[in-house]
Amino acid sequence: MSNDKQITGNIGIFHAASELSRSGWNVMLTVRNAKGADLFAISADERVMHPIQVKAHANKPQDTHLGLEPESYTTPWWVFIAFALSPEPVCYVISLGEIRDRMGRDPGVRSGKPEHQRLFWLHRRYYTPGSDFEMIEARNAWHRLGQPR
């Protein structure tokens, strides 16, 4: 991973942590590049805990690759951050179920790969401000995680 991508990822994680903290959640970051969640949002009474995966895009969002086995993902909440390097990043709080409902698969036209080797991905149109398919209900929707207290 290039240093620029690492820095963009860090900016995204810390931005998400800041927004969650402002919403009343206690936030614990995980070890970078570990498998699974990037952070945990924990209620003040410690009865609610949300593992969260963060995907940050420096500028205009790109498609997010989900690999060959997206069914193996278990992190229930994902935050996609568009324009992470701008003064006003836009965040999309999206459930794993919503991702699975919307994910696509490489059709193999250009790659020529057999189906079992074609990657799954989530199209950027779902987390691009102003897109015809933008998930407006998820835009800066930290309330989707419930009440932190």
Taking the C-alpha atoms of residue 97 and residue 109, their distance in angstroms, rounded to an integer, is: 27
- Report the 3 state secondary structure along the chain: CCHHHHHHHHHHHHHHHHHHHHCCCEEEECCCCCCCCCEEEECCCCCCEEEEEEEECCCCCCCEEEECCHHHCCCCEEEEEECCCCCCCEEEEEEHHHHHHHCEECCCCCCCCCHHHCCEEECHHHHCCCCCCCCHHHECCHHHHCCCC
Residue with tokens 């709080």: 93
Low-confidence ranges of the chain (pLDDT < 70): 1-2
User: Cβ of 19: how many Cβ atoms within 10 Å?
Assistant: 19
- The structure's pTM equals 0.93
Residue-level pLDDT at 2: 65
What is the structure's pLDDT at 36? 87
Place of tokens 């250009």: 110
The confidence score (pLDDT) of residue 54 equals: 97
Q: Which domains does the chain have, with CATH numbers?
A: 3-144 (3.40.1350)
Is-contact 35 49, C-beta < 8 A? no
